[in-house]
Amino acid sequence: MANSGLQILGFFLAVIGWIGLIVGTILPQWKMSAYVGDNIITAIAMYQGLWMSCAFQSTGQIQCKVYDSILQLDSALQATRALMIVSIILSVIGMGVSAMGMKCTNCGGDDKVRKARIAMVGGIVFLIGGLAALIACSWFANRIIKDFYNPFTPVNTKYEFGSAIFIAWAGSFLVILGGAMLACSCPRRTGGARKYPRTKSGPPSTTKEYV
């Protein structure tokens, strides 16, 4: 059975990863304009995120616009949105379940085996949430790479990785790592076969002892 120190470390890593997922989901810097080709315009930097697109000017002004219609968005962007939201929700559920099963808490009763199973379930929920975020980030990054190397994509509309996708990637890895540590709380059977005193088997004695 995993010790309490490993459970606490896994829980805090998962919480930090969950915060990273939230920050990465909110930030608009999922992809940024790539300065390639002969005509490079550095006065304006374009960023696109899951919820809005922003233009950063060299003068320090920032103009952001929230996407008007969900149905007009690209299917990959919609899927990334959904997976990130599912990942954040699952991480919240994992935090609640894991807190009940950790040894350092009084929730979940005094049964150590039962608490270890609860912590293991919380770790599995964390793992599923982290994998959902990892798939979302990798899928979005794959679309950026394909569009960048597509010869039919105009030079001024090519993008590369932004800082938000790296934050989301790091958050997903931390959630997965923390969930794996909590999943190590799988209980082991402590009770084995009952041991009975060995008795000598043999023919009954016919002699009697006299005092």
pLDDT in tens, the chain (211 residues): 447 788 889 999 999 999 999 999 999 999 988 766 554 555 678 888 899 988 887 777 888 888 887 777 888 888 999 999 999 999 999 999 988 888 777 765 677 788 888 889 999 999 999 999 999 999 999 999 988 888 877 777 788 898 999 999 999 999 999 999 998 866 555 544 444 445 555 555 554 444 4
Q: Which fold has domain 4-29+71-183?
A: Butyryl-CoA Dehydrogenase, subunit A; domain 3 (1.20.140)
Strand partners, 45: 56
Contact, 88 vs 25, CB < 8 A? yes
Q: Which residues of 119-157 are buried (b: 16+ CB within 10 A; e: fewer)?
A: bbbbbbbbbbbbbbbbbbbeebbebbeebeeeeeeeeee
Contact, 20 vs 104, CB < 8 A? no
pTM: 0.80
The maximal CA–CA distance of the chain, rounded, in angstroms, is 118
Start-end of H helices in 36-111 = 75-101
Give dist(CA 80, CA 139) in Å, integer: 8
Rg (CA), the chain: 28
